[in-house]
Structure 1
Amino acid sequence: MTAREPLHTDRGEEIEFETVSPAETEALGASLGRLLLAGDIVTLSGELGGGKTCFVRGVVAGASPEAANLVASPTFAILNEYPGTVPILHYDCYRLRGADDALELGLLDRLGGDAICLLEWPERIPGVIAGEYLAASFQWLGEEYRRITLSAHGERSRKLLALLRDERKKKLVS
């Protein structure tokens, strides 16, 4: 059985995808992961069970395939690090009480550095993420059905959306 291409709507600075299985959510994450570079920041917002960890598993599989089997929800660890040519830092900010906690943990020291940074629950640390980042918003619509909206914040993230559009178009043509 071949995976279907997730349905999507393109609004320029934002692309909305609908996935109907964990495999589709992971495949979308893998498409993005293949495009990410050191210093890229992706925020992940949405309710529990929204598909964030599944998407992260895909991002890691695309960016650093050797670490894909290591992905787990970091809720209790706050940070999971995945090794690879470009390391991936996966933060879960759910238990943080604000920007001061993020500063205390040294989160700002690692943003935009030599790793790809994935931040779940960025709304828990308002004002910390500024400038260049790609925002991924997850909405649970029932069973395994998800709406994932990718929004560009800055020139690099606009370029990522353009590259993702191109990759998706190539898949539809082939």
Structure 2
Amino acid sequence: MKKQIIINDILAHLSAELSAIKTAANNAHLAATDDQSVAETQYDTLAIEASYLAEGQSRRVNDIQQAKQAIERFIIYNFEERMPVSIGALVQITPEKGGDKWFFIAPAAGGFQGVLNRKPYTVITQNSPMAKALIGKYIDDDVALTIGTSKQYYLVSGVY
């Protein structure tokens, strides 16, 4: 199933990101608690800055773990021709100008970009402006999306 390939790609990406962030969080924690980080004057803020960084990295570890769990629990299914776009859809849209674009609407990992059958796709979450514009649409529906001051128009070419 094509969507399982997308799910596997997302999980591999999240696992790699989680590993890198865990290392960064551990390094930041070590820097915050290192003997050489002890403040020598009231203006020496190295330990405080390192502790803020460690806290932020720890939060990021938690966020990625939650995203990974959401993707692992996600039940994928194929859309039939007359089903509206919803979470779990692989959507093909055609802009007024240019080539087709592909989006996979997932519960997490928005912004991840992958390639399926030599076609690039972007993962979006249901809270993204593009997903909000697409959800509830059918094949051959027009979609309008305002970005800044310009309005862009698309045609829903496929829902899988």
Which structure dedicates a bigger proportion of its chain to helix?
2
**TM superposition score normalised by structure 1:** 0.22
Based on CA coordinates, which of the two structures has the bigger radius of gyration?
A: 2
